[in-house]
Structure 1
């Protein structure tokens, strides 16, 4: 039967700045299952390097290493991790406990990578710690334990997956004499229970506790002797059946580790989260306000109707300095009404007037129009009635007030209907009040107006027959472009020149939508810069975290973590950071948007921008967390364990 561990002509050479330093020279030895072996040597003798090779933490430069007769030289990193997981348990001089984890959580680490369920590993960890007289210290962190207690936690961790071979590197070096004796007693007990114990020490007194002493000096074995002891019945530990290792080592454990690390460096975490919080909050708030503004304007344009054409005098002949050019007359509206696909044509003329009621004087805009005005503007009458055909034909001095005018002239709560208002000193009877319309797309108060019959206004108020605009509604919106061309041709023929221009409200809507979408993209891009800054912050904190926890990474690898386990673990940590920042940013963005809405700004919250912002934060964590995670996963176990 082959030896449990067999080294044949093993050498190890380190390369430093181009210089080769051979640390182990032609080492050959066999260790049988169930032995208690001490490898003794002074500092620099090569004993720690030999331990790293024995524990598959490092590879020999040459020679052959066999476990149970199987050569491990061709094992890849994952296969070596699996071998360490099911065969070895490590007890280190400096304990190498995870400082942010409790005693129980430290002991559970090897089982996490072995695929043991959370409940089973928790029960086993508690049983091991209780057997080592630490049952009352399960939830204590390493800094709350004495050196001897920390070493017993380390021993429990070594036994978590069975610990067929216990590799103890100077296990008593950092302990007082009493604690050292207790640890040696535990190692002797483990040997009696069938564990193969390999003790690495510089102390001959400690080495004498073993049954076999191998002395090493300058990378060579000087002596190998077995001590005569009373016969003991020792049944060697067999390789345990290992559960299927998790595809990613317990995600919940990685999340817990991330939260522990974040809490341990709380202030640094807050600064790191700040960039993501600001970025996500800006995206949510800016897009909510931008979408709200867009919807508000589009609603107003839609209220006017997408089947409308607005005919105006052309600005091409206007050179400034003087009144707006006028070339339209009411007869043009009548002619347009005769064209196919025209439902109605509403001419309007406007002028600034002074109103008086009682002792209140008020300046506003008078709009001379026709009975079809409410339909053309999608503006209903709140009380009373609107101008009718009889008013037009009889040049009736009647008026309909906008809400702003009505509230100004009749501030005492009087009913305006039936009362007379002086318009430029001419009495007009109020026959109606329009519903509240609000501000226009340009910000003007649409309710600040008085509406009078076009015929009356032309003769008694405006002193002109030209109209300012003609609003045309088409019957079939699909043919609006052809109707627009027909109207333009008609007016050009009537005026013998092209002195009018026509605005298609559908085109206005499309143009505004395109412009506002471009603006939203711009605002989102500006906010995304904050996310980029936040992502760089995540990468920096992860790089610092990897550097600070290099020894912890080495411990995890020694206890069976594969490279992808370490990779996933640190990526999850970056994702946790980004997810927390993203969630806070979403809440902040919603709060800013709600505050803006409270101040009267149009705000529209939709799930899309919120989901997009959070997804971007999550993606930021994934992208910027990958490089530090990859760096962590490519550390060599022996190098990581030797880090200061």
Structure 2
């Protein structure tokens, strides 16, 4: 003879009340149920019959005693193993149906198959067939609130049959139905018993219990009567499981299905979801907009500094110490520097205030006596005409090149200055060219407001002495600029016999500007991240509320075989979905607000890295702050969750 299907020996269950008083609900219950039996457990309210059903279905644990299913001790099962027992061994039919609102009858029936790892097509086909068999084929896409009580109970029976469980546990399945609907449900249970399925019916109604082949009566937590098992000769063969069992690895719900379930859940509470999104939207928009502003400011500063020439080394006259004697810089110093390795060009620099006149227009500005190498050294093209030549330098020619603004000031009517003679400190100079627009590079002097003349001409006619204020050196290889700077320093020290000069390059200025802008960007980004964290806290709070509101749904899913990991994944997916949607909306808002700032206030620079990082941070924030609510949901006790209001 085969072993009994369900065996309970001396089962006791004690609950601790809030006042610390222990209440014993089951007092030494022993019961054996053979495969294929239809057993009704009757008793008044408080007799312990529902507690017994919860223990039979693996929803609850006894305080003491032994419970075996197919010879296996259920007390040895933990976590996922108990979930597998509920998923594959039992189908639950509850008094109040326990259908998940917001989902269709078809989706409710499919749920146990999802946790069993059934492919979507198999689930859909089997659920449709079960609903059709129970007369709900045309109602399978209706939601619970669109079905009558009897129809909802038939949906719950179809759900109990989804995984082909050999045992159906029905807890007061007719208690919430009218007499006609209740009779239909009882007839359906008899039909399932006739097919060889094991039915355990919990009821307080003796007329309903009469439909069973065996009646067990409970009172005050004890079995007080048992009509006994029917003869094995008349018993139908136990129903074989009709659903293929899947390996534990296939039990996990797919990410796509978890995403769809999360989307349905969030859609059912649209207003609350929108409020949850708001914090993430503001956080992501702040990250994108503030980083764009920071990057724009950094780019603008770097452009200004870079326009000075990243390949330039400055040799300035004077050591900066008034106690040391100073040897003036000379053109010969520049010629010596030009012979050093990696030096591309050398530009002497001697400026002076000048008054420029053309016709009856006077303009006070700065004159710069330099060499023909200025366009190369400064990477500064001539916009009109040409720069003076080396021959002009050697000849001391009275030629001049006008800065962009000087040309506009002296020739306001669009007249070409080329070939015209202008007075520079009352000395006539012929204009050979006009420089391209360069802008205010130094922050204090507009380089477009200069007049350029050959060094020899400036020394002879405008200044009277050859002492240079600056020698500007451009290098071929910027990567070797430090090496070249050291070589220039050594050469000048040797020529002057002392270090009565200063040497600088743009790299230090660039490094300082970069560090300053990086600090500003970090501060802006930190402020934005704080906003994002506040949004994450909002996600956590809303998800905690959601767990509280959906406690019964969690219990239903656990009764259908969901593991703790499945519940946790469900809520984590919802948190990630909220954060992800908020991130996308935040990107749009951040781009729009940043564009407005760039249009009316200051330059901004959007980067793909910042946008991707903001969205990723939003999703990660959702996952991190959704972890506590998800774990709280996964740790709920199935019985307590099912009984919540």
Whole-Å separation in 1 of the counterparts to 2:396 and 2:515: 45
Whole-Å separation in 2 of the counterparts to 1:83 and 1:104: 23
Determine the structure 2 residue equivalent to 1:525.
Answer: 526
Whole-Å separation in 2 of the counterparts to 1:386 and 1:131: 96
- Counterpart secondary structure, 2:187: helix
Q: Within 5 Å, which residues of 2 pair with 1:31-46?
A: 31-46=33-48
Q: Tell me which of 115, 124, 129 is aligned to 1:122.
A: 124
Determine the structure 2 residue equivalent to 1:322.
Answer: none
Determine the structure 1 residue equivalent to 2:103.
Answer: 101
Structure 2: gaps spanning 5 or more residues: none
For the pair 1:266 / 2:270, whether they are aligned, the reply is: yes
Conserved? CA contact 1:546–1:632, under 8 Å: yes
Q: Within 5 Å, which residues of 2 pair with 1:343-382?
A: 343-351=344-352, 353=354, 355=356, 357=358, 364-382=365-383
Determine the structure 2 residue equivalent to 1:146.
Answer: 148
Whole-Å separation in 1 of the counterparts to 2:322 and 2:596: 44
Question: Cα distance, 1:90 vs. partner?
Answer: 0.9
Whole-Å separation in 2 of the counterparts to 1:626 and 1:257: 18
Moved more, 349-358 or 106-115: 349-358
Conserved? CA contact 2:87–2:163, under 8 Å: yes
Determine the structure 2 residue equivalent to 1:87.
Answer: 89
- Counterpart secondary structure, 1:179: helix
Whole-Å separation in 2 of the counterparts to 1:513 and 1:291: 11
Superposed CA offset, 1:568-597 (max 9, x none):
222222222222222333333344444455
Determine the structure 2 residue equivalent to 1:286.
Answer: 290
- Counterpart secondary structure, 1:76: coil
Superposed CA offset, 1:442-481 (max 9, x none):
4975434332333444555567755443211245656544
Whole-Å separation in 1 of the counterparts to 2:415 and 2:163: 90
Moved more, 570-579 or 410-419: 410-419
Conserved? CA contact 1:297–1:441, under 8 Å: no
Question: Cα distance, 1:421 vs. partner?
Answer: 4.1
For the pair 1:471 / 2:472, whether they are aligned, the reply is: yes
Compared CA separation, residues 463 and 558, structure 1 to 2 (3 A): farther
Superposed CA offset, 1:93-120 (max 9, x none):
2221111222211111100011100111
Determine the structure 1 residue equivalent to 2:313.
Answer: 309
Conserved? CA contact 2:38–2:193, under 8 Å: yes
Whole-Å separation in 1 of the counterparts to 2:5 and 2:229: 20
For the pair 1:417 / 2:421, whether they are aligned, the reply is: no
Determine the structure 1 residue equivalent to 2:70.
Answer: 68
- Counterpart secondary structure, 2:106: helix
Compared CA separation, residues 82 and 598, structure 1 to 2 (3 A): same
Whole-Å separation in 2 of the counterparts to 1:184 and 1:351: 110
Compared CA separation, residues 493 and 129, structure 1 to 2 (3 A): same
For the pair 1:641 / 2:642, whether they are aligned, the reply is: yes
Compared CA separation, residues 138 and 366, structure 1 to 2 (3 A): farther
Question: Cα distance, 1:70 vs. partner?
Answer: 2.2
Compared CA separation, residues 549 and 475, structure 1 to 2 (3 A): closer
Conserved? CA contact 1:380–1:435, under 8 Å: yes
Question: Cα distance, 1:10 vs. partner?
Answer: 0.6
Moved more, 450-459 or 567-576: 450-459
Whole-Å separation in 1 of the counterparts to 2:240 and 2:322: 100
Question: Cα distance, 1:545 vs. partner?
Answer: 1.6
Whole-Å separation in 1 of the counterparts to 2:401 and 2:80: 85
Whole-Å separation in 2 of the counterparts to 1:389 and 1:533: 66
Moved more, 11-20 or 372-381: 11-20
Compared CA separation, residues 155 and 450, structure 1 to 2 (3 A): farther
For the pair 1:243 / 2:246, whether they are aligned, the reply is: yes
Moved more, 93-102 or 352-361: 352-361
- Counterpart secondary structure, 1:120: helix
- Counterpart secondary structure, 2:448: coil
Structure 1: gaps spanning 5 or more residues: 320-324
Conserved? CA contact 2:11–2:26, under 8 Å: yes
Number of equivalences: 638
Conserved? CA contact 2:398–2:430, under 8 Å: yes
CA RMSD of aligned residues (A): 3.2
Determine the structure 1 residue equivalent to 2:197.
Answer: 195
Compared CA separation, residues 248 and 353, structure 1 to 2 (3 A): farther
TM-score w.r.t. structure 2 length?
0.89
Question: Cα distance, 1:122 vs. partner?
Answer: 1.1
Conserved? CA contact 1:251–1:569, under 8 Å: no
Determine the structure 2 residue equivalent to 1:559.
Answer: 560
Compared CA separation, residues 493 and 315, structure 1 to 2 (3 A): closer
- Counterpart secondary structure, 1:94: coil
Conserved? CA contact 2:214–2:230, under 8 Å: no
Determine the structure 2 residue equivalent to 1:618.
Answer: 619
Whole-Å separation in 1 of the counterparts to 2:594 and 2:195: 67
Whole-Å separation in 1 of the counterparts to 2:193 and 2:449: 97
Question: Cα distance, 1:340 vs. partner?
Answer: 6.2
Conserved? CA contact 1:326–1:467, under 8 Å: no
Determine the structure 2 residue equivalent to 1:217.
Answer: 219
Whole-Å separation in 1 of the counterparts to 2:151 and 2:427: 102
For the pair 1:447 / 2:443, whether they are aligned, the reply is: no
Compared CA separation, residues 266 and 478, structure 1 to 2 (3 A): closer
Conserved? CA contact 1:304–1:376, under 8 Å: no
